[in-house]
Amino acid sequence: MTNTKELTAYLLAFIHGLKESGLKEMVISPGSRSTPLALLAYRDPEINCYINVDERSAAFFALGLAKAQKEPVGLICTSGTAAANYYPAICEAEASNVPLVVLTADRPPEAQGVGAPQTIDQQHLYGSHVKKYIGMALPEEGESFERYAFFQGWESAAAAIKIPKGPVHVNLPFREPLLPDLSQSFTRHYSRKGETINKVTSFSLPELDSWLTKKGLIIVGRELTTQQATKMIELAEIVGWPILGDPLTNLGNCGKESDNYISHVDLIFADQRLETPEIVWQFGNLPLAKNLMLYLNQSKDLTYVIIDESESWKDWLHQSNYVLPIDPLTFCSMVKNMSDEEFHTHADRNWLSYWQERAKLARQTIETTLPLDAYNESNASKRLFQLLKFDETLFLSNSNAIRFIDRYAGFSKQRFSVYGNRGVNGIDGIVSTAAGICAAKKQQMFLLIGDLALFHDMNGLQIIKELELPVTVIVLNNNGGGIFSFLPQRELDNSFFDPLFSTPLHLDLEKVADLYCGAYKKPKSLTEFEQIVCESRERIDSKDNREEKENSTWTLIEVVGEQKAPAELWQHMIEGYGNRNE
């Protein structure tokens, strides 16, 4: 058997293992050393492949695909620094439990440590940020090696989706020649029954009965589907407690209106004199609002329960008494089964009314301090949330974008999905992640992003262009790092603040849109902004008129702002809320 036939048989078995374990999507960044794996995956009719020449963008695009589909997505790149460019997205995947299968091609052992080009030490390249590392053997002849390759392919995807989900790294060294035999096919019939991911279906805890009679808060700091969010609100209604979270929980836009859902959390908890609960149920991590974190940090003598099926101790406040390894829906069902009609008569209705009154005061403050027709970054973000329709998708960049929605948007009667990258809160790869989600869901996507985050991932616009994705990018352009105007660094002299934190970019966003064949709009009023947002969802690429920007599938809307303005508005908001709360 020739080297080419050995290589081909080995990789066909490996790819078969990936598919047997549920991998159906692959993102490929072209390169030389990865040629055999990339070619065989690309020609496989059962694998949907995307091509993205920028490895950093490719990894975040794959992250978006996996976020939307909840299934493992593969990444293929060549050797050397190509693999290093995956690192930020892998860190985000690990922190937010997204199943990626990272397949890095490598030089053979004899090329390591001797100055061979495009060669770095790729073993355990991503350290503790991956769930599992598999260093593959060089391809050899024989059924035993094919069986080995099949098992490792199966194991890598299975490990990625096993709770807690996360990224897995497989390093594959290849010797030349690198072209596989495309006439070969996989003829063996290896199979392995997938491991059952056991979820807790019952949980015996004597304290649970007593928990249900206390004054409690339900806090959600994890991404939920709209269906999960609906169940979580039903849980709050069963126990009679307020439930709160940030935009990524989808609690405010799952289509279920409830008096138990409390919005404008950061403003409510700006007043630290609030009553203290007897018990807290925290699902996943803490939500975005910093004022909530400060409130919980000073709360003493309460029962604190973290509920997370990943069995992660997500308690950086060190408050928890219990960590329950249960997924949210199972926990909701368990509580529903344990509670009865009699329980509702024991719920402290004054406790819920207290929080409803706080939310009402927050809404009144926002309406007074932020007039309906004011055109600025904060109000445009709020209005965007209100304009979204059934089953559309909103992706929120980190820094100001997600905070404007969290603080001001409130509740929507429409059901749509909100996403973000809050695992490690980076501003890199935002555009590419949003593109991946859009490609997976095949629905209208709105991306709210700042100019600095856009600059970090402008290459992500290329895949939006290539795939003709229906994306509307709303850029909050305050010319740099506007988030720092909220932080203590704002007290620095301008000679320090501007170069280190303000970082003005002076981007010409019309040229950015033009470079990637997008339609560019710059509204001058809130009314014009609303009109452009609504028109953008109807923008369909004309196959007969591809050159015309007006027929592009994607639109860039520039909302011009000033760096200090949102921080000044927020300060007025807090003062106004404090006066109402006296």
Residue 403: both structure tokens together: 């905070």
In this predicted structure, the answer to whether residue 541 has a pLDDT above a threshold of 90 is no
Q: pTM value? A: 0.88
In this predicted structure, the answer to whether residue 365 has a pLDDT above a threshold of 60 is yes
CA 455, CA 461: separation in Å to the nearest integer?
Answer: 11
CA 423, CA 401: separation in Å to the nearest integer?
Answer: 16
Q: What is the mean pLDDT of residues 142-153?
A: 91
CA 230, CA 256: separation in Å to the nearest integer?
Answer: 6
Most confident of 138-142, 178-182, 389-393: 389-393
Q: Provide, rounded to the nearest whole percent, the portion of the chain with pLDDT above 70.
A: 92
Q: What is the mean pLDDT of residues 27-48?
A: 95
CB 419 within 8 A of CB 437: yes
Q: What is the mean pLDDT of residues 554-578?
A: 93
Residue 365: both structure tokens together: 């403050």
Query: What pLDDT is stored for residue 205 in this prediction?
Result: 57
Query: What pLDDT is stored for residue 549 in this prediction?
Result: 55
Beta-carbon neighbour count of residue 550 at 10 Å? 9
Taking only the tens place, the pLDDT of each residue in 386-405 is: 999 999 999 999 999 999 99
Q: Chain-wide mean pLDDT for the chain?
A: 89
Taking only the tens place, the pLDDT of each residue in 308-352 is: 887 667 777 878 888 888 888 888 888 887 765 445 445 678 999
CA 92, CA 328: separation in Å to the nearest integer?
Answer: 22
Q: Sorting pLDDT into bands at 50, 70 and 90, what band is 91?
A: very high
Query: What pLDDT is stored for residue 204 in this prediction?
Result: 53
Query: What pLDDT is stored for residue 542 in this prediction?
Result: 43
Query: What pLDDT is stored for residue 2 in this prediction?
Result: 53
25 strand-pairing partners: 48, 73
Query: What pLDDT is stored for residue 206 in this prediction?
Result: 57
Query: What pLDDT is stored for residue 486 in this prediction?
Result: 80
Instruction: From 290, 324, 286, select the one nearest 305 (Cα to Cα).
Output: 324
Query: What pLDDT is stored for residue 551 in this prediction?
Result: 67
Q: Sorting pLDDT into bands at 50, 70 and 90, what band is 194?
A: very low
CA 501, CA 51: separation in Å to the nearest integer?
Answer: 35
Q: Sorting pLDDT into bands at 50, 70 and 90, what band is 1?
A: very low
Q: What is the mean pLDDT of residues 9-28?
A: 96
H helical segments located in 322-376: 328-338, 341-346, 349-369
More confident residue, 299 or 256: 256
CB 478 within 8 A of CB 450: yes
- Owner of token pair 């392995």: 192
Report the Cα 343 to chain-centroid distance in Å: 37
Report the Cα 65 to chain-centroid distance in Å: 10
Instruction: From 453, 450, 406, select the one nearest 432 (Cα to Cα).
Output: 453
Which domains, from first to last, does the chain contain?
Answer: 1-173 (3.40.50.970), 207-357 (3.40.50.1220), 370-581 (3.40.50.970)
CA 410, CA 433: separation in Å to the nearest integer?
Answer: 25
- Owner of token pair 């004899």: 110
CA 470, CA 484: separation in Å to the nearest integer?
Answer: 32
Q: Sorting pLDDT into bands at 50, 70 and 90, what band is 191?
A: low
Beta-carbon neighbour count of residue 226 at 10 Å? 17
Query: What pLDDT is stored for residue 245 in this prediction?
Result: 96
More confident residue, 467 or 337: 467
CB 100 within 8 A of CB 62: yes
In this predicted structure, the answer to whether residue 509 has a pLDDT above a threshold of 80 is yes
